[in-house]
């Protein structure tokens, strides 16, 4: 039956009375393997059983969800819509199981999964853990470091509850709340052996910097995009990085081994690298602006109250600094 001809009341009744979590699990397996045979093997079921189950699911949704092609089973437009919801439902179900285990097995009040960019300010991290560790009953925590793009994607996919990350280009979408925490100043960081020479330059010389050994953050980070824009604005080809890294300890270690190393970091992170003795922060601040850092979460998040309390604690900590 074409999706446009589905009666809303009939579809609602079928979804409310017949749709189960196992149906979503099966659909995700079909999408992953694109083969009834391989799905049957994975789920330890007979092929006719999987075929009947898929037909039953399509009857629930009153429209085909997959079609056969030379590449195997391909999702229809309706199938893509259902699969997107299936992924969210399965992720929510897994999160619920973990949270219930924390509540019933360890006497905790729940679980919060928080993402953090590696360049997050130390003061913000300290305030985050100070607030969360003080909760009573205590809350189980999972922390995951990654780029802003991947953290926001994980929040949207419900595999993270919130993230301390930079404002993303799509952060104005209605599904995502992003609360401003602080702004960072960008600066050039140079290995000890080259610091004095670079510091003597009366102005930032992009041509000379282009000839040094660059350490870049990953390509999908806002700071990397800023570096690319600076070279493009100066009419210079973006240098090929000798190393792409995003972890502070990795950058510091590499700068100890590269006497002509240079990178651009937020000032607080640059000072942490310089404190290891591997590099020096150039005194002149750069005129390039970094996207601000905020706390992001889904507007309909079931952990909304916990996250909003965290946001308030971080605002309070920032005001007192």
194 shares a domain with 170: no
Task: Supply the CATH number for residue 8's domain.
Answer: 1.10.10.10
300 shares a domain with 167: yes
Q: How many domains does the chain have?
A: 3
41 shares a domain with 7: yes
Residue 77 lies in a domain: yes
Report the pLDDT value the prediction gives residue 317, as an integer from 0 to 100.
87
Residue 98 lies in a domain: no
172 shares a domain with 53: no
SS3 annotation, the chain: CCHHHCCHHHHHHHHHHHCCHHHHHHHHHHHHHCCHHHHHHHHCCCHHHHHHHHHHHHHHHCCCCEEEECCEEEECHHHHHHHHHHHHHHHHHHHHHHHHHHHHHHCCCCEEEEEECCCCCHHHHHHHHHHHHCCCCCCEEEEEECCHHHHHHHHHCCCCCEEEEECCCCCCCCCEEEEEEECCEEEEEEEHHHHHHHHCCCCCCHHHHHCCEEEECCCCCHHHHHHHHHHHHCCCCCCCCCEECCCHHHHHHHHHHCCCEEEEEEHHHHHHHHCCCCEEECCCCCCCECCCEEEEEECCCCCHHHHHHHHHHHHHHHHHC
pLDDT by residue, tens only, the chain of 321 residues:
555 566 678 888 888 899 999 999 999 999 999 999 999 998 899 999 999 999 999 999 999 999 999 889 999 999 999 999 999 899 888 888 888 887 777 777 889 999 999 999 889 999 999 999 999 989 999 999 999 999 999 999 999 999 999 986 554 568 899 999 998 888 899 999 998 888 887 677 787 888 899 999 988 888 888 888 888 888 888 999 999 998 888 999 999 999 999 999 998 889 989 998 989 998 877 777 788 999 999 998 999 999 999 999 999 888 776
Residue 240 lies in a domain: yes
191 shares a domain with 170: no
Task: Supply the CATH number for residue 231's domain.
Answer: 3.40.190.10
112 shares a domain with 231: no
275 shares a domain with 202: yes
Residue 101 lies in a domain: no
Report the pLDDT value the prediction gives residue 171, as an integer from 0 to 100.
47
147 shares a domain with 7: no
Residue 217 lies in a domain: yes
Report the pLDDT value the prediction gives residue 259, as an integer from 0 to 100.
94
Residue 286 lies in a domain: no
Report the pLDDT value the prediction gives residue 100, as an integer from 0 to 100.
84
Residue numbers of the domain that contains 202? 186-281
255 shares a domain with 130: no
78 shares a domain with 9: yes
Residue 100 lies in a domain: no
């Amino acid at each position: 039956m074409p999706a446009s001809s589905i009666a809303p009341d009939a579809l609602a009744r079928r979804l409310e009375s017949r749709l189960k979590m196992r149906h979503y699990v099966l659909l995700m397996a079909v999408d992953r393997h694109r083969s009834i045979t391989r799905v049957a093997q994975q789920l330890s079921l007979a092929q006719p059983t999987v075929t009947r189950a898929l037909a039953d699911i399509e009857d629930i949704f009153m429209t085909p969800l997959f079609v056969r092609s030379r590449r195997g089973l391909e999702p229809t437009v309706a199938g893509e819509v259902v699969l997107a919801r299936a992924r969210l439902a399965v992720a929510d179900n897994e999160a619920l199981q973990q949270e219930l285990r924390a509540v019933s097995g360890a006497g905790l009040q729940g679980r919060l999964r928080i993402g953090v960019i590696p360049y997050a300010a130390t003061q913000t991290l300290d305030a985050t853990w100070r607030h969360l560790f003080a909760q009573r009953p205590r809350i189980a925590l999972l922390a995951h470091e990654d780029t802003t793009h991947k953290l926001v994607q994980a929040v949207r996919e419900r595999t993270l509850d919130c993230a301390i990350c930079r404002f993303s280009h799509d952060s104005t979408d209605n599904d995502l709340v992003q609360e401003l925490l602080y702004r960072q100043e960008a600066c050039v960081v140079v290995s000890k052996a080259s610091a004095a020479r670079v510091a003597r330059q009366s102005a930032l010389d992009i041509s000379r910097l282009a000839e040094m050994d660059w350490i870049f953050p990953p390509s999908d980070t806002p700071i990397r995009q800023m570096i690319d824009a600076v070279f493009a604005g100066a009419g210079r080809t973006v240098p090929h990085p000798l190393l792409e890294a995003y972890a502070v300890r990795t950058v510091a270690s590499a700068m100890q081994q590269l006497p002509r190393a240079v990178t651009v970091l937020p000032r607080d992170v640059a000072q942490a690298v310089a404190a290891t003795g591997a590099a020096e922060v150039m005194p002149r601040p750069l005129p390039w602006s970094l996207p601000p850092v905020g706390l992001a979460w889904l507007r309909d998040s079931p952990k909304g109250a916990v996250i909003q309390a965290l946001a308030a604690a971080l605002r309070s900590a920032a005001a007192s600094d």
